[in-house]
Amino acid sequence: MTGTVDRPVEQLPEPSRRERLRRLPTTREVGVSRGDSALVMTHVITAISALLLGGIAGLLQSLERSGRMNLPDWLGYYQLVTAHGILMAIVFTTVFILGFFYAGVAAVTDGELYAGPRALAWMGYALMVLGCVLVVIPLLAGEATVLYTFYAPMQAHPAFYFGLTFFVVGSWLGGFAIFLQYASWRRAYGAITSPLFAFMAVATMLVWQVATLGVATEVLLQLIPWSLGWTDTINVLLSRTLFWFFGHPLVYFWLMPAYTAWYLVMPKLIGGRVFSDNLARLSFMLLIVFSVPVGLHHQLMEPGVDNGWKLLQVGLTFAVVIPSLVTAFSLWASMELAGRERGYGGMFGWLRGLPWKDARFLGLMMGMLVFIPGGAGGLILASFNLNQAVHNTIFVTGHFHLTVATAAALTFISTMFWLVPHVTGRRITPRANRWMLAQVWSWTIGMAIMSTSMHIAGLLGQPRRTKVIDYGSGEKVASSWGPYEMGQAIGGTILFVSVILAFGIVVYLATRAPRATATEPRAEFPLADPPRNGLEVPSWLESWRLWLTVLAVLIVAAYATPIIQIFNQKDTGAKAVQSFKGDEGGLKLPTQPATPAAPPASSDSTEDSGNSKAGSDSNAGADGAAGDDASKGSDAASGEASAVDMDAARDTFAASCGGCHALSDAGTNGAVGPNLDSTKMDADQIEQQILNGGGAMPPGLLQGDDAAAVAQYVAGAAGS
């Protein structure tokens, strides 16, 4: 571009085709300007900080789950699950992706962001930080323990949902900044095919912008009004459907930047080239089309949606395999050509010609290799019949730790290894490269141990998102999980060491690595995007209107009827379930409001208990309890003993609850907890806990008179 980049595009004279080709930056060094360095580094430092905090939460989870440690009373296990998911899956990935794209798009479009896109990028970052603050406050207070998916009817504090809204809107502004930069460049250079990096960045952000429409609709129209008390109930099936409209495309939002690095950075590092520009663009366009209308395959086990529509979206899910296989073919072709050009022959001899001792390459390669079993696991989870064997088991967790936490995350970390010194004007030393190699290998080994343990435990039926379930002491299947829980803890510990290494390396590269000199330049921006001549790429491959129209048609076809069916169902509203606080995520009930003293209880205490239950709601079970605390406890063991056989209640407790809970009077020493000898709950509160469940305890473990009798027995035996 001639003149300043701030000059309005519409004032530029219309250049001829020869002039447009002449202007293309074919000889300029690809890199990030000083003006954009602060923007890129702010995103990178924020992302790596989120990775560190999320890694701490993940380590504590694995150690607590395996029985290697006990969390302090002020920290809940499910708070850690929620924090780990949000920090890793949302904050780390989104913030880094935007920073990476700002750097790459600026590098290939005139070397810097124009004034408008740069301003939008900073505004978006500010909104994302504000959103993070609003999410963290209720999360730390125990008012947003709703896990990363924030499924209804679990209800969080309104600030949590407002924080999510600000974060998503901030990311939208980041996407618009990339769109504006791309459009301005295209208008300046005419009908010239855009640089491949810019094309891939636009495609990725389009997936994000479209996918987040689902979760934005859920949060704005359902969750926020519901959490503010404007509505009493929420349509759970609709909220889950809207979430998974977003949830599965989110996976491709993580993977497409990794694909970008694999397509463009890896060939440069190995001294090769992009195998086919056309195949790369086609794969990204297919990902746009097939990645969004597939969310129902996450709801295969849920009632309320016809199986035919689920089957349609399962088919679209399997269609995503096509661009993935195209990508695999292109990448291996690039590597083989590079190896053979270096003189390595034989069927696989070219592998020896790859730079295995370059950490920048090794990280990308390990991410690619791990994605192979990760993708195979995804095919299992997307299948009607195979999914039933592992649905909601820790097999699922092992799967996405391969796809997201390695294929994407390890690629992002390896990208930081060259992006940070490039942006800060520093060099990568051999010593730094050795530390980077240690980080890549420790991540790969730790993930192999942890994920393999998760997959095997999942095949043995171990549930996910649950601190511990042993189904009673000595249960054979549950007992078989022990070695794999230990494997998860060992792998998680190694991974945490790798996270610390990654954080330390990034800080070193940003602040302590040697500065560039005239003879030793800064770390390169390794992009193999070849100079465009505007002739070889068909125009339909960059026709955004065409591909977005196809996407819109598929979305309507896949979702219109299921959503209509959901609205036509009756009695779909559910009241809020408040997440409990405590080291088990449900062992410390919220403080119960004081209730006025009730009239003297009738002689039929069982009937009074039933009436009390009828007056309570399904969330915490405190309202409507008959009598005050003083009339309970000892009376439950004496005055009410006439209506309840305490010996029978003791036996029922020992058989049904003793495997988890310790109670001296019953002679039980359950290892899960809590220790009921110190409980301060009265009989009605205990009964509601039995009926509604909480933490690792499923709802309805005992019913009717059995629940009431055991509650009275426990209250009396504990002296509460």
Catalytic residue numbers, as ranges: 248, 252, 399-401, 464-465
φ/ψ bin of 663: left (φ > 0), alpha (ψ from -120 to 50), beta (otherwise):
beta
H-assigned helices in 463-592 = 476-479, 482-511, 544-568
- Backbone torsions φ then ψ of 515, nearest 5 degrees: -75, 155
CB 596 within 8 A of CB 268: no
* Burial classification of residue 460, based on how many CB atoms lie within 10 Å of its CB (0-12 exposed, 13-18 middle, 19 or more buried): middle
CA 219 to chain centre: 17
How far apart CA 586 and CA 423 sit, in angstroms, is 47
Peptide bond into 153 cis (omega under 30): yes
How far apart CA 193 and CA 333 sit, in angstroms, is 23
Q: Decide: helix, strand or coil at residue 417.
A: helix
Cα distances (Å, whole numbers) of residue 27 to 23, 31, 532, 561, 580: 10, 12, 12, 53, 61
* Burial classification of residue 342, based on how many CB atoms lie within 10 Å of its CB (0-12 exposed, 13-18 middle, 19 or more buried): middle
- Backbone torsions φ then ψ of 313, nearest 5 degrees: -75, -25
Between the two ends of the chain, the Cα-to-Cα distance in Å is 79
Nearest to 290 by CA among 243, 325, 239: 325
CB 617 within 8 A of CB 623: yes
Which residues sit opposite 697 in a β-bridge? 694
